[in-house]
Amino acid sequence: MAGTRVDRYVPPWDNPPVAVQFDRPYYRRFYLDARTAVTTAAQTKAKAKMIAAVLRHLDIPVRRILDARCGIGAMRGPLLRALPGATWLGVETSPWLCARFGWKRGTVQDLRVRGRFDLVVCDDVLQYLDDRDARRAIGNLRRVCRGALYFGALTREDWEANCDRTSTDPTPWLRPGDWYRRELARGFVPAGMGLWLHHRTPVALWDLERLP
């Protein structure tokens, strides 16, 4: 997970990192302990308000929200408050989190949910998947989305220039940002700030609102 920016470049790790174990110690360190958490409640609330504001601006009604790999469910409350009347479904692969919070057990690369969703959230997930599974995951996000996707992933450029490595785990697969942009563009139109519109969403983006 990514923290705030540092100015000094630190070379990548000497040895490739091992696969991350999404267990209780992992979530306690990066999410539940305020001293080592990668984000704050205020930052999560601001992100939810930004997503809701853009969707209202584009006149995209949100009735169903899917949070794919929802973690501790930090976005649930802020999104439901920012988008009143919507329902929220969280899917998570961690057995510990599913037992503690009651999330639906599953993975993004083998996503099994009913129906389609007006807003799909997939944030800080795909950098933990190899290329094959990451492509499968993006295909699933495209399949279940009928409106907008909020997508984030730690890229190679972020690791080199943006993130605080003292609070960021070196994930097994760091890809350049263009890899994600290319794969997402197969079914989504970039609207900026991490938001992508499904290519069949009947919304016209003004020329300068749409990213190249």
Percent of the chain with pLDDT over 70: 79
- Measured over the CA atoms of residue 103, residue 185, residue 126 and residue 169, the dihedral's sign is negative
51, two tokens:
């997503």
Q: What is the pLDDT of residues 96-145, one digit of tens each?
A: 889 999 999 999 999 999 999 999 999 999 999 999 999 999 999 999 99
Q: Identify residue 25 by its one-letter amino acid code.
A: P
Cα–Cα distance, 125 to 182 (Å, whole number): 17
Computed over every residue of the chain, the mean pLDDT equals 85
Q: What is the pLDDT of residues 185-203, one digit of tens each?
A: 999 999 999 999 999 998 8
Q: What is the pLDDT of residues 121-135, one digit of tens each?
A: 999 999 999 999 999
Residues forming a β-bridge with 41: none
Is the whole-model pTM more than 0.85? no
Cα–Cα distance, 92 to 201 (Å, whole number): 26
pLDDT of the residue at 23:
61
Helix, strand, coil distribution of the chain in percent, nearest 5: 35, 15, 50
φ, ψ at 111 (rounded to 5°): -75, 125
